[in-house]
Amino acid sequence: MIPVRGFEGATVAVLGLGRSGLTAARALRAGGATVLTWDDGTSGRDTAQAEGFEVRDLTRPGAFDGVVTLVTSPGIPHLYPAPHPVIRAAWDAGVAVDNDIGLFFRSLDHAAPRTVCVTGSNGKSTTSALLHHILTSTGKTAYLAGNIGRGVLDLDMPGEDDIVILELSSYQTELARSLTPDICVFTNLSPDHLDRHAGLGGYFAAKRRLFAEGGPDRAVIGVDEDEGRFLANQLQEAPVDDRVIRVSTGKLTGPGWLVTVKKGWLSEHRKGRQVASVDLRDIPGLPGRHNHQNACAAWGAARALGLGPRDIEAGLRTYPGLPHRSQLIATRDGVTYVNDSKATNVDAAAQALQAFKSIRWICGGLQKDGGLEGLHPHLGNVARAYVIGREAEAFALALGPGVETEICTDMATAVARAYTDAQPGDTVLLAPAAASFDQYDSFERRGEDFATQVAALT
């Protein structure tokens, strides 16, 4: 555990007692702070009380008397669509609001490790895990934390030769009061979490803050969207500026540091010269264009950390993939079953639909803002869509007339129908294009249910 610095003898309140909240409370106590805790649910409060923390209802008048900082969990709204009542109370009391990421950066000692922060709409987890795999395969000591792996304050204090890779959501980058990463990665941007940021501009601003206020030594920027181009341009100071590494899945030219992929071939260019290339098409852990983009981002970060092309390529080829992200579940009678439950938005699902041919597509769930129109150009490979979720009929209608649909509602029915219909060469793909919370408590549980249903049949 990393003891939180700067609060010895002070009183700090923690709101939200899930994984990150409880870890923050323990780390604050280890650093000498007096910790007050609160959660809207009784189970979190009971857990904190069992660990010896004082539980105080932070919504009551005077609850913030003597408190210097409130540490909140990422899932709790702090501005849009409306601030949590405890956040408002902290504002009114003049109490600073922070999160565990801010506490992490303020608590690193003089022998600080190098830190790589990865953000974006899609591909954050794969890029982070892939970079971690590449580093550890070369014998380096690297830690994976944040939204993936362990809670960041649950790590032992890393040494100066170590590397910490943090996957960060917009919820985390927007609120952290201290951000001092060495390298930042921006994968891409597509509409997501718009209610939490009052629209796409607020969503991008939350991610941009990691670069604008973090001041990284190097930035790896996906430039396939205008927001990425804007960000890269803001960070560079000359046409040739090695502090910015541009990443693209399309044609990219110029004198700067570029990592691109075209028809499955990754290429690195510096000062107008190609310095490395790798064929990604036969790497089983990185199927499809979207994973090739992730490979480019991880390549750029690894190069910024000083690794050579051969070591990076070796790591790419041994990468096993992540659960629920284009995860191969089974192959039987010529039919492949793939779990991409992490495809919780339209852009991620569109990428998955482009990675396979002749798809039996399991989709549906809690729709996000923006509708499903972005999927329409990518439905050509779909033989039939098997729609799940409480609003399966509305989801199927939103797909339009371009794809044959079947209302299944639940996962067991969808998998059984896809299994019956599938022919050799087909891929049964779970890529929901929606959140899971209408039927599951997480995308992981949804993916696990898919895998269980497939195993029962195959």
Instruction: Show binding-site residues for ATP.
Output: 120-126
Tokens 């007692």 found at:
17
- Listed in order, strand segments (DSSP E) in 243-285 are 244-248, 257-262, 265-270, 273-279
Residue 59 CB: number of other CB atoms within 10 A?
Answer: 13
Nearest to 444 by CA among 361, 363, 339, 324: 324
Query: Could you tell me the sign of the dihedral formed by the alpha carbons of 308, 311, 315, 316, in that order?
Result: positive
Tell me the backbone φ, ψ of residue 301, rounded to 5 degrees: -65, -40
- Prior bond of 83 cis (ω within 30°): no
Q: By the 8 A CB rule, do 121 and 347 touch?
A: yes
Residue numbering of the annotated binding site:
120-126
Tokens 């923390």 found at:
53
Alpha helices per DSSP H over 236-386 = 288-304, 309-317, 346-355
Alpha helices per DSSP H over 249-340 = 288-304, 309-317
Helix, strand, coil distribution of the chain in percent, nearest 5: 35, 25, 40
Exposed/middle/buried for 79, CB within 10 Å: 0-12, 13-18, 19+?
A: middle
Return the structure tokens found at 446.
Answer: 């949804």
Distance of alpha carbon 418 from alpha carbon 339, whole angstroms: 14
Nearest to 63 by CA among 33, 86, 34: 86
Helix (H) or strand (E) holding 450: helix 443-457
